[in-house]
Amino acid sequence: MTSQAVKEVLLVGFGAVGAVYSLILKRSGRARVTVIARSNYDTVNAQGVEFQSGKYGDIKGWKPDRLFQSVAEALDRPYSYVVVTTKAIPELVRTPTLLAPFLSPPYSDTYPQPTYVLMQNGLNVEVDLYRVLKKLKRTEEPRIISTAVWIGSRMIGSNVIEHNDFDRVSLGVYRPSTTNSTNTPEESVVLSEFSDILTAGGSETTIVPEIQRVKFGKNFWNAIFGISSALVQYPLPAIFRPPHLDPDASQDGHLLEHTPPLDVPETPSMAATASVPSASPAIGAYTIPFLYDALTEMYNLGVVLFPPSEGSPGLNPDIAIKTLMNTSKLHVRPDSVHRPSTLVDVELGRPMEIEVILGEVVRMGREKGVDMPRLETLYALLLIAQNQLLRQHHEKKASL
């Protein structure tokens, strides 16, 4: 039977995702929520948070049970869960550094280690923390819940959160091996207890035996479409939406007349993507087949990492074309206004999550001998932008 006792929960990272999930945790009635708000502490401490949510309603002046500006201030008690909702940007801070006060004396000698819950984009975000925990308690297996989160939320200013009508999360135990596809009874208890808290708070949850496969599947979109959008600095309708469907298109709906003539042999990728809408004939002939081929490279790596077995279905063999088609359907519409988070980061001059979204894919591809020239090209080019954003970040930090 799952315990109904109130759990002490620490949440690190009070952005758009962290704020919504701190609300969910508090709404459950099963968690006493301590939040670490670093950059927006002063505003949240003075005014609280305003939620404009299609799911949870309009809430003003909301605060967690406790609010601190640093992890070091919150070491006065043991926690059942430490939830990390910061962006995963290892060039700025690695997870063990962020959580260092928990991973060293006197805290590590005084209290048992909590279950860590990583609600972050990207792949292999758990590796650093797992290794440190393994060294800290060599006779214990680290308790790390990894997640794949789908949520529509964004932060306006420093304390206003816009949230639409959904938030759902898949949860699984992190394991170094990708070939173990079953949860032990002990792992099932760890997952169900935290899942029950989120469900009681209103979120939709799914417990899975292979969280790394689920995260890899979700990363298809981020690694191709989020990265491409950041690279060209335009949202996805710039790829898929024909001119006559633009919100400001003229009444006669004519196509652009300056589109260059196309006289190229059809490739297999062009044939496979012929029904995908495009913003111009040239984009349909070159860009969309390129994206399809990049998705296929991701799939080829996924087949090696997650082969089908008795306990695992492996990856969906149609994932490349389905991801492309589903994305085009959303962004061909005149009302499509979504901007990928990587694009928003570039527009605001912030470093991106490029290493965990794409860098890890490239490194795993090289390790496994999987050829991925398109993904390596995207990564190589975006590294230039990331390098400049990191320089600007450090210069700004030094000037404060």
The domain 7-209 belongs to what CATH superfamily? NAD(P)-binding Rossmann-like Domain (3.40.50.720)
Task: Give the model confidence (pLDDT) of 29-54 as tens digits.
Answer: 999 999 999 889 999 999 999 999 99
Please give the class, per CATH, of domain 215-399.
Answer: mainly alpha
Q: In the chain, where are the structural domains located?
A: 7-209, 215-399
Give the three-class secondary structure for 108: helix
Q: Provide the pLDDT for residue 265.
A: 86
Within 13 Å and on the Cβ side, how many CA atoms surround 216? 27
7-209 and 215-399 share one fold? no
pLDDT of amino acid 375 = 98
The predicted model scores a pTM of 0.92
Q: What's residue 259's pLDDT?
A: 55
pLDDT digit string (tens) for 310-339?
Answer: 777 889 999 999 999 999 999 999 999 888
Q: Using pLDDT thresholds of 50, 70 and 90, give the confidence band for residue 264.
A: confident
How many whole angstroms separate alpha carbon 183 and alpha carbon 191? 9
On the 0-12 / 13-18 / 19+ scale of CB atoms within 10 A, 279 is buried
The mean pLDDT of 236-242, rounded to a whole number, is 96
Identify the residue whose tokens are 């404009």. Answer: 52
Q: Is the pLDDT of residue 252 over 70?
A: no
Has residue 253 got a pLDDT over 60?
Answer: no
Stretch among 77-81, 246-250, 303-307 having the lowest mean pLDDT: 246-250
Dist. CA 160–CA 340, nearest whole Å = 19
DSSP element (H, E) containing 57: strand 57-62
